[in-house]
Structure 1
């Protein structure tokens, strides 16, 4: 294995690494990492924000890798999705989720879960803005009011 790694280094290639579980294959009690994404410096320069994620086991002995490729020319990255507890108290929250999930189907369960996550987070961001406005500004304004009342 060291000869393989030495040859990769001598060729100026890099393993992108990964997020998630360390191993991608389970055979009985044995775990192994089979999937590696190897790139050169030109790739890294062009696609600086490339990432690899090992997905979960679902009906298989193999964790499929998901590679996200983003050009370094994109200056802004989307903010991470965050669930707000106040959403569940809104009368339209459950209907919004159930209507969205009715439209998503795929025979592969991993793809379906990925689609559900992506579309749900996108739809909830939009819905939250329409239902509650800019939450951070509203909270900041409320805090200022409390300070002024004291």
Structure 2
């Protein structure tokens, strides 16, 4: 809105990629446009997912947030608690752990690998869970 007209030919490769990868373009809640500058408004930021993701997280809500210090609106993906299986629970971090004498050294040693970030986070969560049960005897109790 407010700029040059939409050119379908320019978007064709992107649309073809979405089709080839069998991705679904999510209708987001909130304002129609994710970017603006002056009187020019555009929908640039999108959320795409595949069928496997949808089957696992079917009740996920996605919406645009307000712009804060940027010309883009961030997209919030909220996973419903009902989507996760019993063994796939959320990981809770307790700030009280930071006060324990050897917690940071445990984190540092767990983070020393060369794995990609998702793998590092999974490994760190496992180490913290084990540390919680062995050292603190479960902070929740």
TM-score by length of 2: 0.46
TM-score by length of 1: 0.44
Question: Which has more helix, going by share of residues?
Answer: 1
